Structure 1
Amino acid sequence: MCDVMCLCHLQVQNPHSIKYNGTIQGLKYIWRTEGFRGLFKGNGTNCARIVPNSAVKFFSYEQASKGILHLYRKQTGNEDAQLTPLLRLGAGACAGIIAMSATYPMDMVRGRITVQTEKSPYQYRGMFHALSTVLREEGPRALYKGWLPSVIGVIPYVGLNFAVYESLKDWLIKSNPLGLVQDSELSVTTRLACGAAAGTIGQTVAYPLDVIRRRMQMVGWNHAASVVAGDGRGKVPLEYTGMVDAFRKTVRYEGFGALYKGLVPNSVKVVPSIAIAFVTYEVVKDILGVEIRISD
């Protein structure tokens, strides 16, 4: 959770008042200004969000995979055909869109709880208080601010996670380099490595959209740790009319590198979490005696 906290601050901090430039500096700054509890702001909301998000994502992937495989076999006339990497990418994209849309309001308020300051107009006491406050003060549409870049970003992110993980596993099982395969199965360590590779590729490709999503979520929330820029009349808060406008203003005022602010803490968080999620899912299904696995 410390990485999540630092990540959110890095993504939205004011470029004209840089407080820290990296993960370690960010953690030290948060510790100094907000104490130990500051490192875990929004953790409860994050836990409440990740459980249904992961459940919906894996379930949706399995159902989408079955549907796509059925259509693919029917189209090719080959009843033994298997999913290609591209088809796995499509199934993963469908799962990501469904899971993101189902839990997006919780992700939105998690971002606000994480970056709220003492000067914030509303002090959110928790997820439900944040949800009710945003709904009351800004309307239901505010709960889906940044939804479009999130959905667009989740297509390559989740899609690549599933496609890379499954395709890499298949390749290792078929080629068996370095004798990694035993009894037609990969070890937990090897599967963790596959998951780490999938997480690294997916989050790197989709990361700019995550930055834009987080910034759009802060629009309309005065005194948050949001971005400001000079427009010839002094420094003013940035307002975005949409995803394209957010991209344009971010690159214009801060440069292309701003789209990758917080990439390091995001990698520290995402890569192991994706690897553990995939392996845990498969191991738990084995324990429960569920025969159908992701790759099936």
Structure 2
Amino acid sequence: MAAEWQWENAAAGSAAGLATVSFTHPLDVIRTRFQVNDGRLSNLPTYKNTPHALFTIARTEGFRGLYAGFYPAVLGSTISWGLYFYFYSKAKQRYLRSREELSPVLHLASAAEAGGLVCFCTNPVWLVKTRLQLQTPQQVRPYSGFHDALRTILKEEGWRALYKGLVPGLFLVTHGAIQFTAYEELRKMVIKFRTEESAENPNVAENLLDSFDYAVLGASSKLAAVALTYPFQVIRARLQQRPNIEGIPRYVDSWHVMKETAR
């Protein structure tokens, strides 16, 4: 029964990932292009803002441009959500062998373990997605698709290239922990404020929050997590760019990205 529940979680997570990617992929393309725009020479056009980027890509590259890298995005998201729920369930089961229930620390440990394993398993897919999203019609020797990109990367750069951006990707695992912590702390603050304001019994303070409150708390905690982890997304995207025609990468490692970006 437990194994069946794990696979149900994995299937539900995969379906959620597919739906999310399908609706938001054009914005993901724009985000990736903004992230790698470092003000230096680039084969990418310069966009003023998000609407301008949407209009320019649609006009010059068409629908294919807005959905560049869609296949690896769907594949990566589906695999990531599925594996995450599976690894998370397995980790919780392992911690529960010697105790009746999990503490918040062990919940976070389970989430971090699952996130790290998923990151390692899916990094090659995200690298290909990033490179396909950065391709333009003027690209020299463009990849024809996901499988061509994988073959070309392995042939020209070796298997290690598939794990470029892994280190900042592992730091991005903290996103969920930050969001969870921010949500719980904000919830406690709101409940305390409402309880003091209404002078009601703290035991029923939970009822002081309605659906709108939970939506605001969720959005606020998500915003906090994004703000704190976004620099790691920028570092990862810049590391995963395709090398130039001579095979020289634009950035060597995460520290090089931080130094050059700060400069």
Same fold by TM-score greater than 0.5: yes
**Paired position in structure 2 for 1:100:** 119
**Paired position in structure 2 for 1:245:** 256
Q: Percent identity?
A: 30
1:146-202 Cα offsets, whole Å, 9 max, x none, are 111111222x1133345556787899897324353xxxxxx7x77665554443222
Which secondary structure state, in structure 2, belongs to the residue aligned with residue 218 of structure 1?
A: coil
1:178 equivalent to 2:231? Answer no
* Unpaired stretches in structure 1, ≥5 consecutive residues: 74-78, 181-186, 224-236, 253-296
Shift of 1:92: 1.9
**Paired position in structure 2 for 1:232:** none
1:13 equivalent to 2:40? Answer no
Normalization by structure 2: what TM-score?
0.72
Which secondary structure state, in structure 1, belongs to the residue aligned with residue 68 of structure 2?
A: coil
Normalization by structure 1: what TM-score?
0.65
Instruction: Report the AA paired with residue 246 of structure 1.
Output: V
User: Which of 103, 119, 122 is matched with 1:83 structurally?
Assistant: 103
C-alpha distance in 1, partners of 2:48/2:125? 28
**Paired position in structure 1 for 2:17:** none
C-alpha distance in 1, partners of 2:249/2:159? 22
Instruction: Report the AA paired with residue 230 of structure 2.
Output: Y
| CA spacing shift, 1:120–1:163, aligned 2, 3 Å | same
* Unpaired stretches in structure 2, ≥5 consecutive residues: 1-24, 192-202
C-alpha distance in 1, partners of 2:56/2:245? 22
1:134 equivalent to 2:157? Answer no
C-alpha distance in 2, partners of 1:221/1:46? 24
| Equivalent residues, number | 224
C-alpha distance in 1, partners of 2:223/2:97? 30
1:60-109 Cα offsets, whole Å, 9 max, x none, are 222223434556x4xxxxx4x5422x443332221111111111100000
C-alpha distance in 1, partners of 2:72/2:240? 16
RMSD between aligned residues: 3.1
The correspondence of residues 6-85 of structure 1 with structure 2, limited to 5 A, is 6-16=30-40, 19-68=46-95, 73=99, 79=100, 82-84=102-104
C-alpha distance in 2, partners of 1:170/1:43? 40
Instruction: Report the AA paired with residue 176 of structure 2.
Output: V
C-alpha distance in 2, partners of 1:82/1:166? 16
